[in-house]
């Protein structure tokens, strides 16, 4: 799977309004970050991100409030992401995101309670992925110089098929996790994870290959 952009979305921009004067929307931010472009502080796209955050907070407040059936949870997640509902998704609230419109999820994915997806930079999750309690997927950094620190630097996260991410793990911007890999609980993943291995620690390192049989 690869991240997709709303077919009505604009081409990547410099953070300014399109030439026809139309107001920017979430699809413009998705296209902009897909090109790896920064989001300058105070720019029109930063304002788009701020408005999108408020909408995401509204939907997640509903999602995380009273009890919802699994079908209702799926419907709310579809509203949050702006994509058709995936009826194979298993999601246990509470769930937190400050954008939501740049999450793409495959089939038979399970997301346990307390996860936080910061997805402006793009999060793509493959099929049959298991994500444990309180996992953080973060796709934004800040520029390092103090005078530029308000500028956001997006970098996508890609989670391959059959990955298992343990409770409390953090996956940092720009990281890809290969198919079948396991990220141990509380690991901080700062670099790409090869397929079929177990990683753990802070920062995470390869511990061994994934077992091919029980015992």
How much is the pLDDT for 181?
98
Give the residue with greater pLDDT, 10 vs 61. Answer: 61
Annotated active-site residue in 32, 96, 133, 142: 142
**Catalytic residue at 142?**
yes
Phi and psi, residue 146, nearest 5°: -55, -40
Report CA Rg, the chain.
17
Least confident of 24-33, 160-169, 202-211: 24-33
**Mind listing the pLDDT tens digit for each residue in 14-35?**
444 444 456 899 999 999 999 9
| Distance, CA of 132 to CA of 195 (rounded, Å) | 19
Say whether pLDDT at 158 is over 80: yes
Say whether pLDDT at 170 is over 60: yes
Give the C-alpha distances (Å, rounded to integers) separating 10 from 63, 79, 123, 159, 162. 30, 21, 20, 26, 33
**Mind listing the pLDDT tens digit for each residue in 23-81?**
899 999 999 999 999 999 999 999 999 999 999 999 999 999 999 999 999 999 999 99
Instruction: Tell me the pTM.
Output: 0.89
**85 falls in which pLDDT band (50, 70, 90)?**
confident
């Amino acid at each position: 799977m690869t991240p997709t952009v709303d077919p009505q979305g604009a081409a990547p921009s410099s953070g300014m309004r399109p030439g026809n004067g139309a107001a920017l929307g979430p699809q413009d931010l998705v296209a902009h970050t897909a090109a790896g472009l920064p989001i300058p502080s105070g720019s029109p796209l930063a304002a788009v991100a701020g408005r999108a955050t408020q909408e995401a907070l509204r939907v997640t407040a509903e999602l995380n409030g009273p009890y919802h059936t699994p079908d209702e949870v799926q419907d709310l997640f579809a509203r949050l992401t702006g994509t058709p509902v995936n009826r194979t998704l298993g999601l246990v609230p509470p769930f937190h995101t400050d954008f939501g419109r740049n999450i793409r999820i495959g089939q038979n994915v399970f997301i346990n309670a307390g996860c936080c997806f910061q997805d402006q930079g793009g999060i793509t999750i493959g099929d049959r992925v298991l994500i444990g309690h309180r996992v953080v997927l973060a796709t934004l950094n800040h520029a390092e110089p103090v005078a530029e620190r308000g500028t956001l630097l997006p970098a996508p996260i890609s989670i391959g098929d059959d990955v298992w991410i343990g409770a409390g793990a953090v996956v940092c911007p720009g990281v890809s996790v290969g198919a079948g890999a396991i990220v141990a609980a509380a690991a901080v993943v700062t670099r790409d994870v090869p397929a079929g291995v177990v990683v753990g620690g802070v920062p995470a390192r390869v511990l061994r290959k994934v077992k091919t049989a029980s015992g």
